[in-house]
Amino acid sequence: MKKIFVLCSLLLVLTGCDLGTGMLNTPQKQVESFFSKYQTLDQDVLNDLDKVVAEEELFNSEQREAYRTLMKKHYQDLTYDIKDERIDGDKATVTVEIEVTDYSKAIAAADLYKEQNKAEFQDENGDYDASKFMDYRLEKLKEVKDHITYTLDLTLTKDGKEWKLDPISTVDEQKIHGTYLY
């Protein structure tokens, strides 16, 4: 029994695979981990969301919380399916199909409505009131039921023995968040 354990350990060392991370350190597993963090509302994802929400100057505190709640549900509902993994030396591309809530149509429709109904979003002095529009837009986002599917080609780079996801493009980020206006 001891010989089998030593032989298995030696085999793992020779193949460059360890039980701790080697089997989980593939481009595909890194992409799966990336999307799983959204679905499980990983603390890093929530911290990034909080940062984005805090930087949005047009939101009041209630709107910030409403948007945060909306996006948390969006992340949990996100689904993904790995379609392909291509490795070329220290570079890899993982093709993944995602399905997300399609907020883009609601955003575009709200913006158009604002332009066609300017008086509805004015304060008592006749000035534009961004808070009124944000309330309107958030209500429209809450009503969205449609989903959309995107295919993303995510790239990774091997750093030493570890595969790391390259920065996500702005377009892919918008697709993940369901805000991509196609």
CATH for 142: 3.10.450
**Is the predicted pLDDT of residue 163 greater than 60, yes or no?**
yes
Mean pLDDT of all residues in 122-143: 96
Distance of alpha carbon 68 from alpha carbon 82, whole angstroms:
27
Closest CA to 42 of 67, 66, 64, 75: 75
Please report whether residue 136 resides in a domain: yes
pTM for this entry: 0.82
Residue-level pLDDT at 97: 98
Distance CA 100, CA 124 (A): 39
Q: Does the pLDDT of residue 182 top 90, yes or no?
A: no
- The encoded tokens of residue 93 equal 């591309």
In a domain, 56, yes or no: yes
Domain count, the chain: 1
Q: Is residue 17 included in any domain, yes or no? A: no
182 in a domain, yes or no? Answer: no
Task: Report if residue 8 sits inside a domain.
Answer: no
- Rounded to an integer, what distance in angstroms lies between the CA atom of residue 83 and that of residue 97? 7
Phi, psi of 56 (to 5 degrees): -75, 105
Give per-residue pLDDT as tens, 77-123.
999 999 999 999 999 999 999 999 999 999 999 999 999 999 999 99
Task: Give CA–CA dist 161/21, Å, rounded.
Answer: 10
Q: Which residues contact 118 (CB under 8 A, 6 or more apart)?
A: 128
Judged against a pLDDT cut of 60, whether residue 61 lies above it is answered with yes
Q: Does 11 fall in a domain?
A: no
Give the domain extent around 68: 24-177
The answer as to whether 2 is a domain residue is no
